[in-house]
Amino acid sequence: MRDLTPAEGRVLAVLVEKQATVPDTYPLSLNALVAGCNQKSARDPVMSLSEADVLEAIEGLRELSLVNEVSGMRVTRYDHNAPRGLGVPGAAAALLTTLLLRGPQTAAELRANSERLHRFADTSSVEGFLEELAEKDPPRVVRLARSPGAREARWAQLLTGEPALPVASAEELAAPKPARADEIAALRAEVAELRALVLRLASELGVDANLKSEA
């Protein structure tokens, strides 16, 4: 599949987003689609597309079997075929949609920002889908070089072409990942449960567990 234009990427992402967030008005009319494309919140970059721009993008997406025109309605409406057209599962389509709408993000940011489209169990599951998308032929996402002082690298979508920002080097990709806050919190909770269990058993047996408190 060829690279999408920025307008095509925005139109496709808006259709996926609105199907999940405003199902009562989906499929979208042209007016609703233009408004979604030019929305100022949760968009990076903010665009100013005309009806003609959106119609041109729709035609390009129809040729790629990514968008359909819904007939039999008073007003012409449009829906998407993103997962099948891109050959990805729904969870991966949610990540691609969020990247198309909001620009490069870390896995943790993607998990939070895509929650209304797909609820991921944890950040590790997001990273798993991102790595699968990066390994597709052609790849759908790429891990960017870590910014100075940043703890986590950001990811960018490749549906609209190569990102302007530098991608991660082979050394960065091979480096061990730092422990994330959610993983640390889960480990602390598990330790607390085990501590409580040991103390209870010790009390029942009448022995001193002599456990040190957590730092």
> Are residues 140 and 184 located together in one domain of the fold?
no
Query: Crossing angle, helix 123-135 and helix 90-102, to 10 degrees?
Result: 90
Highest mean pLDDT among 64-73, 105-114, 149-158: 105-114
> Are residues 136 and 187 located together in one domain of the fold?
no
> Are residues 15 and 94 located together in one domain of the fold?
yes
> Are residues 38 and 85 located together in one domain of the fold?
yes
> Are residues 55 and 90 located together in one domain of the fold?
yes
Buried b (16+ CB within 10 A) or exposed e, 91-126: bbbbbbbbbbbbebbbbbbbbebbeebbebeebeeb
> Are residues 148 and 188 located together in one domain of the fold?
no
Lowest mean pLDDT among 46-60, 146-160, 172-186: 172-186
The answer to the question of residue 101 being in a domain is: yes
Report how far residue 154's alpha carbon sits from residue 142's, in angstroms, rounded to the nearest whole number.
9
> Are residues 108 and 198 located together in one domain of the fold?
no
pLDDT attached to residue 176? 60
Q: What CATH number does the domain containing 133 carry?
A: 1.10.10.10
Q: Over the stretch 69-128, which tens digit does the pLDDT of each residue have?
A: 997 778 999 999 999 999 999 999 999 999 999 999 999 999 999 999 999 999 999 999
Q: How many domains, in total, are found in the chain?
A: 2
Domain residue limits at 200: 175-214
The answer to the question of residue 73 being in a domain is: yes
> Are residues 180 and 105 located together in one domain of the fold?
no
83, burial (CB in 10 Å: exposed 0-12, middle 13-18, buried 19+):
middle
